Structure 1
Amino acid sequence: MGDRPAIREGEIALPHDPAARTDAGLVFIGRIRSPWARGNCPKNISKARAEKPDTWIELKPEFAPALAGLTVGQPVILLYWMDNARRDLVVQAPAHVDAPRGTFALRSPNRPNPIAAATVRITALDGARIGIDAIDCFDGTPLVDIKPWLETIDIPPA
């Protein structure tokens, strides 16, 4: 894994890089475009929405036909690959919580498979370019999938 950043008090890292033990392959279907980079990226999508950023998806042209049926104004779920995240932390100590927590109890990008999910609203559809209302990832982040958000499926039971 090369030079790993120091861990915070209470954190636990695996002795190996999970990326070195892959079980499957992924195809990135495009890239997310945003004004964000290390140092100015909002911590979550609600903070990103407050900034009203110019954000969009650049889909690979061969996947443009897969957008058929989506409409402007529709919410969709984006799954994206946080390619700059650590993959070895199993316990993390973020500054905003009172004690270390397991990785699966956090929305941190640092996880064995750095997949992030965000529900966004489509603001424009123009060929392989999809405008979205906001996103909380660095410019150029690889996009794994787009799924329609469906109220009958995506709202947990009471």
Structure 2
Amino acid sequence: MVMYDIVPIGVVKSPYLTKEQAPSQGRNKDSEEMVIEIFEEYQKGLGDYREVSHLIVLLWFDQAKRDLLFAKPPYSDQEKPVFTTRSPNRPNPVGFDIGRIISVDSGKIMIAGLDAIDNTPVIDIKPYIPSLDCIPGATEGKSKKSGKN
């Protein structure tokens, strides 16, 4: 098996200190502000994001369990295969959040809408582009029990 290096570009400074404090989805707490601190060697890669309202933030959930192939989503009473869920516990615990930019200054991005706990490594950021990232007509699996996914 070929191994690849993932190098964090920064870290999240979050009010959530434990996994239990963090929401299951960041959008559920869109008013909660936190800071992404980009490491100095990567700060030249930041822009001012004047025309961008949201970022895709890829995180490394370093406290996740990596040996689980089944997870019980909050909307279900049954375990499901991990790759059909958004569980942070998975072989490669990559987190995907879309956060609302509040400000960008001196290598720090003030952002809202993430579910990261304090000191979560950031592995990449990308601008959220609605014309590319929103797929009209896309479907999602819904539980017949709750109607939520």
Give the TM-score, by structure 1 length: 0.78
**What is the deviation of 1:66?**
0.9
2:84 matches 1:84: no
Separation (CA, whole Å) in 1 of partners of 2:51 and 2:43? 15
How many pairs does the alignment contain?
136
2:52 matches 1:42: no
Runs of 4+ in 1 over 3 A off after TM superposition: none
Gaps of 5+ in 2: 138-149
Q: Deviations over 1:26-54 (max 9, x none)?
A: 110000111102232222112222xx323
Residue from 1, 8, 25 that aligns with 1:28? 8
Gaps of 5+ in 1: 1-20
Residue from 88, 107, 110 that aligns with 1:128? 107
Separation (CA, whole Å) in 2 of partners of 1:83 and 1:117? 14
User: How large is the Cα RMSD of the aligned pairs?
Assistant: 1.8
**What is the deviation of 1:73?**
5.6
Separation (CA, whole Å) in 2 of partners of 1:67 and 1:75? 14
**What is the deviation of 1:89?**
0.6
Aligned with 1:25: secondary structure? coil
**What is the deviation of 1:95?**
5.1
Letter in structure 1 aligned against 2:16: W
Give the TM-score, by structure 2 length: 0.83
* Aligned residue in 1 for 2:90: 111
